[in-house]
Amino acid sequence: MVQYPAEGLQPGSIVRYQETPLQGGYRWYVIVGVGLILLEAILIPGLLLQRAGQRRAEQLLSERLRFESLLSELSARLIPAAVSDVDAEIERGLQRVVEFLRTDRASLHEYVPDGAVVRISWVVEGAARLSRTSL
């Protein structure tokens, strides 16, 4: 683009489409635009962190609901069980707890004057079973 010095123009000349330098009319537009970009640069990571925290909270609540449902189901199975079937139901319940918690064993101890005795236990296949002696 060819620029002509203002002093070289004829008196009364009209200059159309004159470019305005940054210090002129567009200065505030640039300042506001850069300010908005910086504000977005601050807000976006904050929103991403908030979203990650929300997902984690949802996962924890979901896990808690699953655990509470398991406990409710175990209670519901034990309540109507006959006295002769209680041990078998407890063993099935221990199996469900082991599977839920992803451990290798669970046991129910009975405390007697000589110490604790393993009353009922459940272990995954391949793991050693605890003896029923005093601990």
pLDDT single digits (tens) 37-81: 999 999 999 999 999 999 999 999 999 999 999 999 999 999 999
Residue 60's SS3 state is helix
Closest CA to 117 of 131, 99, 100: 131
Closest CA to 95 of 54, 125, 56: 125
pLDDT at 45: 95
